[in-house]
Amino acid sequence: MTWADSRSAAYVGMLNEQHDAQAIYSATGTPIHPMSPLLKLMWLREKAKGVFNKAYRFVGIKEYVMGRWLSGGRHVVDHSIASATGLFSLRNRTWHEQSL
């Protein structure tokens, strides 16, 4: 799934209705937007359950490239990359439990 995939657009409204989207945005710094990895994962979990359940891990292109070039194939993520996912707490510098 690429960054430009917008199939998760319907989840913007759902997230706003069912959760405090503003609080998630404030905590993670990532706008609630169809291109956000948070919404893409929500879409995958509901619409592509087989793919979601079989996945060993989810990595973006940046993590993949860093892993291949710099870490001998080990997938790594730093704070700057994690902060763009909508899944990372900027204040605590840990994964944001509410988003997960």
Q: Are 67 and 80 in contact (CB under 8 A)?
A: no
Q: What is the pLDDT of residues 37-86, one digit of tens each?
A: 999 999 999 999 999 999 998 888 888 888 888 877 777 888 988 998 99
Q: Are 94 and 33 in contact (CB under 8 A)?
A: no
Collapsing DSSP states into helix, strand and coil, what is residue 34? coil
Say what the pTM is. Answer: 0.82
Q: Which CATH class is domain 9-99?
A: alpha beta
